[in-house]
Structure 1
Amino acid sequence: MSAWVIEAEPVDDAGIDALIREFTAEVGRRLLGRPATGAELRAVLDRDPHGDLAPPRGTFLVARDDDGDLIGCVGARLLDDLPATAELKRMYVRPAHRGAGVGRALLVAAEQAAAALGATRIVLDTRTVLVEARTLYSSHGYRETAPYNDHGDAEHWYAKTLR
């Protein structure tokens, strides 16, 4: 398995947009049992935009392999309605790179970035079908909590205190 680096990059880069669409399509396949249509993908991304995963109140991190190819991503943004709270968004690792620690490294980097933004707590929402993600969050100190948002696609909410 190759090495990787994690760095902040603009969320609106064309390659990153393709990675986020890949993530959304995978979730759609798991939920629907079939590939999501282009219209379904657009509707999901329109309901939950990610343009604010950028300074000064957010960040977007990507993992690239030693060839410079995108292998994973995660974002964090401060929430306006919850003081000193950041939200984890768009956590994704391409299937060929799963099990190598990329997800854990992205999660740690996102927590560090959220703390640098001034957050003392980080929250996220997810779906039941994302078993691997829920396992990762739980093993990394996240605990299920009451909903912090009314995101219609969420089924589980997690929180963690940052130190």
Structure 2
Amino acid sequence: MHTEGHDGPDATALRREYYDEVASRYWKRPATEAEIDEGLTNDGVELLTPPTGQFLVARFEGRPAGCGGVLLLDGERAELTRVFLRPSFRGLGGAGALLRALEEAAAELGARRMVLNTRLDLIEARTLYTRHGYAEIPAYCEGPYMEIWYGKELGARQGVPGNGDMA
């Protein structure tokens, strides 16, 4: 995984694809370019830089394959956010490698626990999280697209190991 600025060309393209996918699934229609622009405006991504967070770009054979971020919430917890893998790279073990790299980034920032929120309709994401040791927790925040919350103690080696092809 590579630490890259959230505003670099690969990171920007991945963030746009992420928002397009989750918004289009929610609205049950393709998101427009204007809706994607609006969704990314003032979304807080600038906090995904040390000391408040980190943004990673996953690459497969040199090509940008996915991204994700961690945001420190307090002295103990980091929030997993914007986890995305391009469809053509899914099923190769990269999502697990990306999660592990994000967990390591959170630990390096001082977090001892990772938390996240997601929607119930994002079944693939929920399956990924539970497969890698995340368990449902009580809500720690509120918002219109938050329907289920997960947490995991960092350093816990649970879940299915990936094949490590993502770097």
Alpha-carbon distance between aligned partners in 2 of 1:117 and 1:88, rounded to the nearest angstrom: 13
What percent of counterpart residues are identical?
48
Tell me the amino acid that sits aligned with residue 92 of structure 1. F
Tell me the TM-score normalised to structure 2 length: 0.87
**Alignment map for 1:123-142 (pairs within 5 Å):** 123-142=115-134
Unaligned runs of 5+ in 1: 1-5
Matched, 1:19 2:14: yes
Give how far 1:162 is off.
1.1
Structure 2 SS opposite 1:106: helix
Residue 46 (structure 1) aligns with: 41
Give how far 1:39 is off.
3.2
Matched, 1:156 2:148: yes
Residue 90 (structure 1) aligns with: 82
Residue 77 (structure 1) aligns with: 71
**Aligned partners of 2:71 and 2:78 also within 8 Å:** yes
Q: 1:149 to 1:47 in 2, by over 3 A?
A: farther
Matched, 1:117 2:109: yes
CA deviation profile, 1:22-62 (whole Å, cap 9, x unmatched): 01101112111111123322333236321111112211111
Tell me the TM-score normalised to structure 1 length: 0.89
Alpha-carbon distance between aligned partners in 1 of 2:149 and 2:2, rounded to the nearest angstrom: 26
Give how far 1:15 is off.
2.2
CA deviation profile, 1:80-104 (whole Å, cap 9, x unmatched): xx43110111100000010111000
Tell me the amino acid that sits aligned with residue 76 of structure 2. A
Alpha-carbon distance between aligned partners in 2 of 1:19 and 1:44, rounded to the nearest angstrom: 14
Structure 2 SS opposite 1:87: strand
**Of residues 76, 96, 101 in structure 2, which corresponds to 1:104?**
96
Tell me the amino acid that sits aligned with residue 33 of structure 1. K
Off by >4 Å, runs of 4+ in structure 1: none
Structure 1 SS opposite 2:14: helix
Tell me the amino acid that sits aligned with residue 16 of structure 2. R
Matched, 1:144 2:136: yes
Structure 1 SS opposite 2:40: helix
**Aligned partners of 2:75 and 2:110 also within 8 Å:** no
